[in-house]
Amino acid sequence: MRYLLDTTFVIDHLRGDPVAVTRLASIVENGDEPFVCDVVACEAWTGAHDDFDADLVGLLRFVEFVQAGPAQARRAGRWRADARQRGWTLSSPDALIAASAEALDAVVLTRNVRDFALTSARVESY
């Protein structure tokens, strides 16, 4: 199985949250594939202590990095437009994360399941 790690997961793992640490270990032990996308990396770096945050660098080197392309940008934009027409707000970052996960046939691993409810991406909490 493929998992796109959401920023909440990355931050929890970096903080040593036992559930997140155990979950990533389980993903690896099961032969599943963890990914992060450019949006998650950007958000994680926003909270980093400095440009050389060893823990973040180590985690980002460990997981595969993917980037949204034009098709994912279009998908994310359409989800945002649909949400807006219904009077709801879907953030650009969450839409791009969901579109990236969907393109990978991956599950978004997050604590904030509700953030992705306006998309068709598969989502799992931890």
Q: What is the CATH number of the domain that holds 63?
A: 3.40.50.1010
Specify the number of domains making up the chain: 1
- Which 3 state secondary structure label does DSSP give 108? strand
Distance CA(97)–CA(123), nearest Å, equals: 11
The reported pTM is: 0.95
Distance CA(77)–CA(72), nearest Å, equals: 8
Q: Which domain, by its residues, includes 106?
A: 2-124
Q: What pLDDT score was predicted for residue 109? A: 98
pLDDT, one tens digit per residue, over 76-119 is 999 999 999 999 999 999 999 999 999 999 999 999 999 899 99
Of residues 42, 48, 32, the one with CA closest to residue 65: 42
Cβ neighbours, 10 Å, residue 92? 12
